[in-house]
Amino acid sequence: MSLKYIRENLAGKLRAHGINPTHQRLEIAHALFSRCEHLSADQIMAIVNERHSETSKATVYNTLNLFLDKKLIREVIVDPNKVFYDPNTSPHYHMYDVESGRLTDIDAAPVRVSGLPSLPAGMVTEGMDIVIRVRPADFPH
C-alpha cells in the first residue's frame, strides 16, 4: 500500500464527506489518519510543517473545524489546555493517562451502561463520552 494509494483514498474520503480535497487538507488528513493517534492542533501543525513551513495556523484550525463539522473526525476534551482530534469516528470511549497525557481508545461495543436517568423533555442525545483517568501505581499522588 503505497503512499500515493493512501493519499488517493484520503481524497475520496474527504469528497465522501463533502470536503474539497486541497493540498493542505490532504496533508492534515494524512497526519491524522496515517498514524492513528490523538493529536492536538499544534502537534498537527508541527507534523505538517516538518520539512518546510507550508500551512498556516489559521488553516490548521479552519481545516480541523471543517473536519469536525463534516464528521470526519471527533474532538476529545480531557485536558484543560488543549483539544485532541480523534480520527477514529466509530463508537468508542477513552482512557487517559494523566501522567503522560496519552490517550487510548476503548471499543464501545462490549460496554454496557445502565441506570442512567431519562433525558429532560425535548432533549436528544448527541453522544456519550466516557473517560477513564488512570495513572501509574507509583505516580506521586
Q: List residues binding its own copies (CB under 8 A).
A: 75, 77-80, 83, 95, 97-98, 106-107, 110-117, 119-120, 122-138
Q: Give the range of 51-59, 95-103, 121-129, 133-141 binding DNA by CB under 7 A.
A: 51-59
As given in the structure block, the three cell numbers for residue 34 are 496515517
Residues facing 86 on adjacent strands:
74
Residue 59 binds: one of its own copies, DNA, none (C-beta under 5 to 8 A by kind) = DNA
- φ, ψ (nearest 5 deg) of residue 122: 80, 5
Q: Give the range of 80-88, 90-98, 101-109, 118-126 binding DNA by CB under 7 A.
A: 80-88
As given in the structure block, the three cell numbers for residue 72 are 470526519
Q: Give the range of 37-45, 102-110, 117-125, 126-134 binding DNA by CB under 7 A.
A: 37-45
Residue of 34, 37, 35, 40 whose CA lies nearest to 78 = 40
Residue 50 binds: one of DNA, its own copies, none (C-beta under 5 to 8 A by kind) = none
For its own copies, the closer of residues 50 and 71 by Cβ is: 71
Residues facing 96 on adjacent strands:
103, 133
Q: Let me know: does 47 contact 33? Beta carbons within 8 Å.
A: no
Residue type, 100: S
Distance (Å, whole) CA 96 – CA 63 = 25
Residue of the chain from 6, 15, 22, 69 that contacts DNA (CB under 7 A): 22
Q: Which positions touch DNA (CB under 7 A)?
A: 20, 22-25, 40-42, 53-59, 61-63, 65, 80-83
